[in-house]
Structure 1
Amino acid sequence: MERILQGFERAAGASPAIRFIDVMLRGAGQVMFMDNPLTGLFFVAAIVWGAFAVDAPLVALAGLLALAVATGTALVGGFDRASWRVGLYGYNALLTGLALGTFLAPGAMHFVFVVIAGAFSVVVSEAVGRFLKVHAVPGLTFGFVLTAWLFLLASHGFAGLPAGGLPTAVLPGGATVVASDPLAPGAFLAGVALSISQVFLKDSIIAALLFLAGLAVASLPAALLALAGAVIAVAVAHLAGAESDLVTGGLLGFSPVLTAVALGTVFGKPTPRGLAYAAFGTVVTVIAQAALNAGLAPFGLPALTMPFVLVTWLFLLARPAPAA
């Protein structure tokens, strides 16, 4: 595997076109913090599989188009070359494109929005990164959340851009109560797998396995933490009485998966105390997901990965200083 990566790097060094593809793949991998083109290739394969599995290939096209636009915008626009090289301008755009493809009806204006949003996500990511630099915390996927929310809300003002996939705006009500007994094994495993695939807005167990494989080729601890985060999320959400469809569909687990990886290994160390801190953050993210789902219901907006962003920011700002 190392030889494959080295050979690809040599090819990228000799060809601007291959370098561009390399950066795009790294951007895909950066959705889950991995600066690895092979990881990105697995992720792209999972996205394409997940889109075709539900007969929605235009969703994958929207995500990849936004990724390409953002990668090109950051390069031509003169943004930080080191950040561009490792794909840090691409991951928010990829998620934004997938969100617009998922929640907006397809059409010419839809793809115009995807292009504009992909380019704009670069500006948002850079601005957020500069603002947070003084606090030594990363922007995470806030660039995606802010860009997607802006463009999804704008769809209500344009007749040529129907938002057929957005949630119906309703006042929050009580959840459908579920039993506190453990989920059936099949439903539990499905919830765990879909919690991972829903990071990329995909409802596919095969896609989830590809995402885990992509993580594992770059970082086995990250893959294990993603799996652990999904298990914690499904268990906590179910025991708290969340609606069954949300639990088994992974819709309360994708943000906790990201929190577990971020706090457990990317921005922390997998020591016993570090893992306990990450696990606590993962539990809180489940609660934040339910809270933001309810808080945004009157606006008909999905929470996206904002629960992960909010909780991870707070836990990083509050993390204990290393022992002397």
Structure 2
Amino acid sequence: MSTSQTDTPLPNSVASPDLLWENAAVVLKGIGQVFFQENALSGLLFVIGIAFGAPLEAVGGVVGSLIGLATARTLKFDEGETRAGIYGFNSALVGMATFFYFRPGLVSLLLLLVGCVVATLLTRWMRHSLPFPTYTTPFIVTTWGIYFLGRSLGAVHVDPGAPLRDVGVLSVIAHGIGQVMFQGTLWGGAFFLLGIAISNRTHAVWVLLGSVVGMLVSAYHATAGSDALHIERLLEHAHSDNIALGLYGYNATLTAVALYLWRKSVIPPLLGMILSVPVTELIPTLGLPALTAPFVLTTWLVMLLGWTEASLLKKSAASPS
């Protein structure tokens, strides 16, 4: 385990340029880890992509990742994990989500601060207590709490905006990538894909494919004039608007990369991408914003199938013929 510069007192450490650059890189890696990229430049490009459509959410993401870093350093979490941005991505997503749902104010700022700390603590607990990857579960649980607490405490909601009309296929694909961090813009998706590609081109291909598959599967049973819940806002929307916004694609992108990292094979990611769409449609019917819950649940399901298959094959091989 590497030694943190904060472990040894340094004169004027707060103003040390090296320390500031190091911490800035860790903050950006925390944002990069949203797409499994331990890369500060990727994180910077993600922030730029968010800023194109929602500058305040970009600020929320940076502040959230910074709170995650500060919490991890204060509580002396594993320094290797901290430097890799592991304790930044869930809190960064919480910061973005808070300003996605609520306007800045005393209540929303307090929820952001507390939520980012809670998400960081949950990340630490889940990583070291559960025998399987938990991905963005801390973000999901924390943001559900923020969503309902903000409503009950009178935080001012953000206007969901007008539905998209006459959106081209490329824009829909870009939206499917951008919605991982609440961005429904062509530039947001483009910068996200570029950020992933400079870190890992294979991951970029899977992300692109995930958005395409999510779009196609969701469009398969859509009919003209059919309605559906807005995946995140829980408002009645035209099904076509949800597709145009990329709301059926973003969970497929994360599922594809996660399952490829789990098993270097084509079948698990493809299966996960397809299954993520009906799961994405299910979550809002429970009265909960989907967030990245479909990604986590689908990935767990495919992993469970894989582990079950391996166990059955092992028993079959061990039994006498």
TM range, smaller chain: 0.7 to 0.9
Provide Cα deviations, 1:210-233, integer angstroms capped at 9, x if missing partner.
101100011101000000011100
Partner of 1:278: 269
> 1:58, CA displacement in angstroms?
2.2
Partner of 1:171: none
> 1:164, CA displacement in angstroms?
4.5
Provide Cα deviations, 1:153-211, integer angstroms capped at 9, x if missing partner.
1113313x2345589xxxxxxxxxxxxxxxx9x63222111000000101111111110
Matches of 1:85 and 1:224, distance apart in 2? 26
Q: SS in structure 1 opposite 2:266?
A: helix
Q: SS in structure 1 opposite 2:286?
A: helix
| Aligned-partner residue type, residue 240 of structure 2 | S
> 1:289, CA displacement in angstroms?
0.1
Matches of 1:260 and 1:275, distance apart in 2? 9
Matches of 2:28 and 2:57, distance apart in 1? 18
Q: 1:100 to 1:130 in 2, by over 3 A?
A: same
**8 Å contact 2:111–2:150 — kept in the other structure?**
no
| Aligned-partner residue type, residue 74 of structure 2 | V
Matches of 2:110 and 2:63, distance apart in 1? 10
**8 Å contact 2:94–2:143 — kept in the other structure?**
yes
**8 Å contact 1:252–1:289 — kept in the other structure?**
yes
> 1:306, CA displacement in angstroms?
0.2
| Aligned-partner residue type, residue 201 of structure 2 | L
Matches of 2:280 and 2:113, distance apart in 1? 29
Question: Aligned-residue CA RMSD in angstroms?
Answer: 2.2
**8 Å contact 1:188–1:234 — kept in the other structure?**
no
Q: SS in structure 2 opposite 1:87?
A: coil
- Select which of 287, 290, 304 maps to 2:281: 290
Q: 1:81 to 1:46 in 2, by over 3 A?
A: same
1:225 corresponds to 2:206: yes
Matches of 2:194 and 2:158, distance apart in 1? 33
Q: SS in structure 2 opposite 1:117?
A: helix
Matches of 1:66 and 1:36, distance apart in 2? 17
Matches of 1:192 and 1:232, distance apart in 2? 9
Matches of 1:129 and 1:163, distance apart in 2? 33
Matches of 2:185 and 2:159, distance apart in 1? 18
Q: SS in structure 2 opposite 1:38?
A: helix
1:193 corresponds to 2:174: yes
User: Aligned pair count?
Assistant: 277
**8 Å contact 1:74–1:122 — kept in the other structure?**
yes
Partner of 2:120: 122
**8 Å contact 1:23–1:85 — kept in the other structure?**
yes
**8 Å contact 2:172–2:246 — kept in the other structure?**
yes
Partner of 1:141: 136
Partner of 1:86: 84
Partner of 1:316: 303
Superposition TM-score, scaled by structure 2 size: 0.81
| Aligned-partner residue type, residue 199 of structure 2 | A
1:131 corresponds to 2:129: yes
- Select which of 32, 35, 39 maps to 2:35: 32
Runs of 4+ more than 6 Å apart = none
Q: SS in structure 1 opposite 2:24?
A: helix
Structure 2's unaligned 5+ residue stretches are 1-15, 223-227, 229-238, 315-321
Partner of 1:105: 103
Matches of 1:71 and 1:116, distance apart in 2? 14
1:212 corresponds to 2:193: yes
Provide Cα deviations, 1:14-35, integer angstroms capped at 9, x if missing partner.
8221111111111111001011
> 1:131, CA displacement in angstroms?
2.9
* Identity over aligned pairs, percent: 30
- Select which of 285, 288, 292 maps to 1:305: 292
| Aligned-partner residue type, residue 27 of structure 2 | M
Matches of 1:76 and 1:19, distance apart in 2? 16
> 1:106, CA displacement in angstroms?
2.0
More relative contact order, 1 or 2 (CA 8 Å, 6+ apart): 1
> 1:321, CA displacement in angstroms?
4.1
Partner of 1:19: 22
Superposition TM-score, scaled by structure 1 size: 0.80
Matches of 1:187 and 1:288, distance apart in 2? 25
